[in-house]
Amino acid sequence: MLSRAAKPTGYTEPSGLAAVRAAVAVTAPKLLLLQQQQQQQQQQQQQQQQQQQQQQQKQQQQQQQQQQQQQQQQQQQQQQQD
């Protein structure tokens, strides 16, 4: 927080400035909360993306296994024909 200079006695703060201070006091916590919520959403999105990537990797592995099995079957069939 910024340190404020001492005000002379009898000084009254302009009403506009007081209103701004009050608005900031109310708004700042809301902004912090919004930031936290956005961070949580980003984390959730990242987790979802990671899960999707993992699923894609599993699918790719399964496809590779299937291709290998098919190749083996084809080789066996060729050997039987020979």
Q: What is the pLDDT of residues 20-33, one digit of tens each?
A: 989 999 999 999 99
Of 2-6, 41-45, 50-54, least confident by mean pLDDT is: 2-6
Of the CA atoms within 13 Å of residue 19, those in its CB half-sphere come to 3
Dist CA 23 CA 31 (whole Å):
12
Considering the chain, what is the average pLDDT of its residues?
90
Beta-strand ranges (E) seen in the chain are none
Dist CA 70 CA 57 (whole Å):
20
- The more confident residue out of 35 and 9 is 35
> What letter represents residue 61's amino acid?
Q
